[in-house]
Amino acid sequence: MGNTSSMLTQYDIEEVQQHCQHAFTQQEIVSLYQRFCQLDRNNCGFISSDEFLSIPEFAVNPLSQSLLRMLDGLNFKEFVAFLSAFSPRATLHQKILFIFKWYDTDCNGKVTFHDMLRALRDLSGSFMSEQQREEVLTQVLEEAGYAKDSSLVLSDFVKILGNSGLKMEVEIPVD
């Protein structure tokens, strides 16, 4: 599976399916593999930041730069695992874990006010001032029972988002 010019075997498909906790069907994994091969222009088995940025929808996404931190250099198995959070079959915990990892930019297992502020900055762009962002974020934290100087861990995210009805889904076209 390292070289994208090879075809997926049944064993590879089942291995990837197990790795992504069965978030995708075998047909979806084959479709994702075909898309992965299209993106892997230099045929090295990994997708670089430049290759991700070649996708017009990704390049104009305000979150693209922060997502690249999670995406750059993924092999096929990691690519599918990354996308599995967006599967309708992914559990709420898988989705929350994805969001937590996106916020945790320094990968220390904690999300600070500044981490959340950076994410809100990415999401809101020029539509909010820095002061408005800080006020909104402070209010959201206080309503959830946290102070501005709190460092949130994954269990805090589960507590906050656990009953939120979180929807993060994409449809994988199957040929």
Amino acid at 12: D
User: Of 51, 86, 121, which marks where a domain is finished?
Assistant: 86
Burial class (CB in 10 A: 0-12, 13-18, 19+), 24: buried
Separation between Cα atoms, residue 170 and residue 53, nearest integer Å: 19
* Within a domain: 63: yes
CA angle 10, 16, 17 (to 5 degrees): 85
- Residues 80 and 101 grouped into a single domain: no
CA distances from 165 to 78, 96, 120, 160, 162 (A): 26, 11, 20, 11, 8
- Residues 19 and 80 grouped into a single domain: yes
* Within a domain: 75: yes
Query: How many Cβ atoms from other residues are within 10 Å of residue 135's Cβ?
Result: 12
Does the pLDDT value for residue 5 go beyond 50?
no
Q: CATH code at 149?
A: 1.10.238.10
pLDDT digits (tens, 9 = 90+) for 81-112: 999 999 999 989 999 999 999 999 888 999 99
Looking at the DSSP bridge assignments, the partners of residue 111 are 152
Residue 132 belongs to what domain range? 92-161
% of the chain at pLDDT higher than 90: 54
Does the pLDDT value for residue 32 go beyond 60?
yes
- Residues 82 and 15 grouped into a single domain: yes
* Within a domain: 50: yes
- Residues 14 and 81 grouped into a single domain: yes
- Residues 72 and 122 grouped into a single domain: no
pTM to 2 decimal places:
0.80
Asked if 70 and 101 count as a contact pair (C-beta separation under 8 A), the reply is yes
Token pair listed for 4: 């994208």
Does the pLDDT value for residue 31 go beyond 60?
yes
* Within a domain: 175: no
Overall domain count for the chain: 2
- Residues 123 and 146 grouped into a single domain: yes
* Within a domain: 131: yes
Say how many CA atoms lie within 13 Å of 147 toward its Cβ.
2
